[in-house]
Chains A and B, each alone.
Chain A
Amino acid sequence: MFYRENGQFKTSYEKDQQVFSIPQDRWAIFAIIAFAFIGIPLLVDEYLFRAILIPFVILSLAALGVNILVGYCGQITLGAGAFMAIGAYAGYNFLVRISGMPTLGAILLGGLTAAVVGIVFGAPSLRVRGLYLAVATLAAQFFWDWAFLRIKWFTNDSPSGSVFVADVSLMGWTVNTAAEKYLFCLGILVVFSLLAKNMVRGSIGRQWMAIRDMDVAATVIGIRPMYAKLSAFAVSSFYVGVAGALWGFVHLGSWEPAAFSIDRSFQLLFMVIIGGMGSIVGSFFGAAFIVILPLFLNQMLPVVGGLFGLDVSIALVSHVEIMIFGALIIFFLIVEPHGIARLWSTGREKLRLWPFPH
């Protein structure tokens, strides 16, 4: 009843093209962003920041990047982890080799490096698609795993391949505490989400989706597949690279190549599939599902077991956690193959008309 657009008339195409063209939506999103910036730091303790919120924010950014490529442009990738690693290690190299390099500059340059490498490793997409492309991107994953482990120059000759970034600062503000780290990452996520939304609602986004849906027709209409695909690889890798740099610089502080293994690539792909392909908000849902659910299960299982008088051991918890998690993924894929984002939009459509069925 409260979610109505009756009597709201759009009198110009400009109003029709707004991201949130319904005022209720606009206020809701402002409220959520305000709560995320002001409310959460007041309410949440150190552990929650480190264990949940910071990983959630950074992986949302990475999932957003993967979604641009997989969800919007229809090109599959199994190398997202490698591009996170490229962002992190390239950013690290910019930071240690160029004196006076600001941290944010290093992070963005890390992303740009990932974008350039993304274009190179995206080139096979011009020839192959589907599973074959997946294998080609898998090659990127293995190659960069190997490179960061074996080529000492990338890790500034550190013996074990592990590197560290002392502290992150932004124009005199040193990002020290967990809350500050969270705010730093959240700020980047909000800006990048807005930029992504602008791209996907504009001409380039239509080009990506056209290539995804029907590439022959797209060419006939005057879309160059090369430009559309490679720009999707570049933008996607940029986002994933920046997320990787944040993961290394802000979340981990010190890291080694194993932090960006193939597990990470799969995790990001699952986020996009579960959250909703071709949906910005879906990336956040997917990241939340993958990051928060295991921790939630981990905390809840002993409590639930206690209710039935069962003593649940820690080993059992970790096994059951994986089983329930896997079952939920399958459940979601069967019930709603288009992901949580589709459930969300269906719900909203229903709410617009509620209490009437049509």
Chain B
Amino acid sequence: MSGRKIGEVILDLKNITLRFGGVTALEDISFDVREHEVRAIIGPNGAGKSSMLNVINGVYRPQEGDIILRGEHHANMDSYGAAKAGLARTFQNIALFKGMSVLDNIMTGRNLKMKANLLQQAVWFGPAQREELEHREKVEEIIDFLEIQHIRKTPVGRLPYGLQKRVDLARALAMEPQILLLDEPMAGMNVEEKQDMSRFILDVNDQFGTTVVLIEHDMGVVMDISDRVVVLDYGKKIGDGTPDEVRANPDVISAYLGASH
């Protein structure tokens, strides 16, 4: 973790409450994320971790509370607005575009930055081609970074699970996000794949200065790579702090880590 300096609060979540009918998925949750840090959200199944991520990037809109992103209120943004505001995410159950090649999947991440209109694209020669080449270079950098050169022309549906997860990350990185939301990036991976993925996450954080918010179940990984951890249980926040503080928190221990009583 060289040369990385944790900055000011970039994302501030205040008193978020999210209900689905009679079910309260998140209740009065507040926490903040600082620039360049790796922030983990942990909690038992059904604690509301994914709902939290969905709130942050506009898939769900909370009934109460405020989301402040770089000093601006964003409680009512939709997921398109979140993408424009510089938030990218990966999904728990990989949501890649199965019929498209790895390259095309990652190129979709550049969509917001591509400006050629429909007619220019139909003609191809001129602005559309220039733009396509320019963004291809960027995408190739990401492909190099994540070491997936050998599969760039393969349809993602044919790839094994671990590589699909990596392509999912590549697509999110292609957006050049300020904040990267990762929903269980290591679920279902073996130890080696987890090590690779941890290395990529730390490299992204280190080299691009991207702020990372991640949900993860593997406690070893979480405690190793994150700067601060927030713990949810049944939609409530029960702990927040550095990995060491969280590990020592008695509420967290009884609810989640399951140490001896």
Contacts and interface: CB of A to CB of B under 8 A. Distances in A.
A217 B91 contact: yes
Chain B interface, DSSP helix/strand/loop, else mixed: helix
Contacts, number: 105
A20 to B, nearest CB: 14
B116 A209 contact: no
B108 A199 contact: no
B118 A235 contact: yes
Interface string B104-125: 1001111110101010011110
Given A202-B128, A209-B97, A209-B99, A218 B83 contact: no
Contact of A198 (B80, B122, B133): B122
A224 B82 CA distance: 12
A221 B104 contact: no
A203 interface: yes
Contacts of B191: none
Interface string A164-204: 00000000000000000000000000000001101100111
Contact of B97 (A204, A213, A219, A222): A213
Interface string B74-95: 0000111011100011010001
Contacts of A13: 133, 136-137, 140
From A14, A203, A224, name the one whose CB has the most chain B CB atoms within 10 angstroms: A203
B83 A220 contact: yes
Contact of B98 (A203, A207, A214, A222): A214
Contact of B111 (A17, A207, A231, A278): A207
B97 to A, nearest CB: 4
B175 A221 contact: yes
A63 B51 CA distance: 42
Interface residues of A, number: 29
From A14, A202, A212, A221, name the one whose CB has the most chain B CB atoms within 10 angstroms: A221
B118 A218 contact: no
Nearest to B181: A220
Contact of A210 (B57, B80, B100, B121): B100
B108 to A, nearest CB: 5
A222 B121 contact: no
A13 B140 CA distance: 10
A216 interface: yes
A231 B128 CA distance: 17
A11 to B, nearest CB: 13
Contacts of B88: 220-221
A298 to B, nearest CB: 37
A202 B79 contact: no
B132 interface: yes
B132 A216 contact: no
B104 A195 contact: no
A199 B122 contact: yes
B36 interface: no
Nearest to B153: A16
Given A13-B133, A203-B114, A209-B100, A218 B122 contact: no
Contacts of A203: 107, 110-111, 114, 116, 121, 128, 131-132
Given A13-B137, A209-B100, A210-B97, A220 B79 contact: yes
B108 A207 contact: yes
B123 A14 contact: no
Nearest to A224: B80
A206 interface: yes
From A199, A218, A222, A235, name the one whose CB has the most chain B CB atoms within 10 angstroms: A222
Nearest to A223: B111
Given A198-B122, A198-B128, A231-B118, A217 B111 contact: no
A171 B195 CA distance: 68
A218 B108 contact: yes
A213 B124 contact: no
A223 B108 contact: yes
B238 interface: no
A242 B97 CA distance: 31
A209 B83 contact: no
A198 B116 CA distance: 12
A217 B133 contact: no
Contacts of A199: 118, 121-122
Contacts of A202: 116, 121, 124, 128, 132
A214 B95 contact: yes
Closest 9 CB pairs of A and B: A222-B83, A217-B95, A213-B97, A198-B124, A222-B112, A202-B121, A195-B122, A203-B114, A13-B136
Interface of A: 13-14, 17, 195-196, 198-199, 202-204, 206-207, 209-210, 212-214, 216-224, 231, 235, 278
5 contacts: A17-B132, A203-B132, A213-B100, A214-B98, A220-B82
Given A213-B97, A222-B112, 14 more contacts: A13-B140, A14-B129, A195-B122, A195-B123, A202-B116, A202-B124, A202-B132, A213-B99, A213-B100, A217-B97, A219-B79, A220-B89, A221-B172, A224-B80
